[in-house]
Amino acid sequence: LSVGGFIKDVGRYLLKGERAAELVALRTKRLSVKSFMDAWTMNIERLQQCCVHVGSVDGDSDPVRIPFCARQLFGGLRRRTSVGQVAARELVALDGLGVQS
């Protein structure tokens, strides 16, 4: 699928109504490129806004999400998430998407 073909498909789908818009959403992928933060480039504000997380459980409590860069930098977070990793389907509610958990 080329960019031009995708744009044509989006236009065609959007003119057809709500179901077509859902098809566009299902066929759309997001690609983000960000620089990796290490001990010398750590930016707390950016870390708080991070959208790439590692999921884990914290004992018997609810699942937790830890920013990927923080996990790589701090050994305690790395050990915590390595021990208690859980599948994504257990961390994210997929209500209304027709996905079986």
Rounded-to-10 torsion of CA 35, 36, 42, 48: 80
pLDDT band at 101, cuts 50/70/90? very low
Residue 100's pLDDT is 45
Q: How far apart are CA 58 and CA 80, in angstroms?
A: 8
Q: What is the pLDDT of residues 23-62, one digit of tens each?
A: 767 777 767 677 777 778 888 888 787 777 777 766 666 6
**How much is the average pLDDT of 10-16?**
72
**How much is the average pLDDT of 10-33?**
71
Asked whether residue 90 carries a pLDDT value surpassing 50, the answer given is yes
Asked whether residue 96 carries a pLDDT value surpassing 60, the answer given is no
Per the CB < 8 A criterion, the answer to whether 68 and 81 are in contact is no
Residue 61's pLDDT is 65
**Domain ranges (residues) in the chain:** 1-31, 44-91
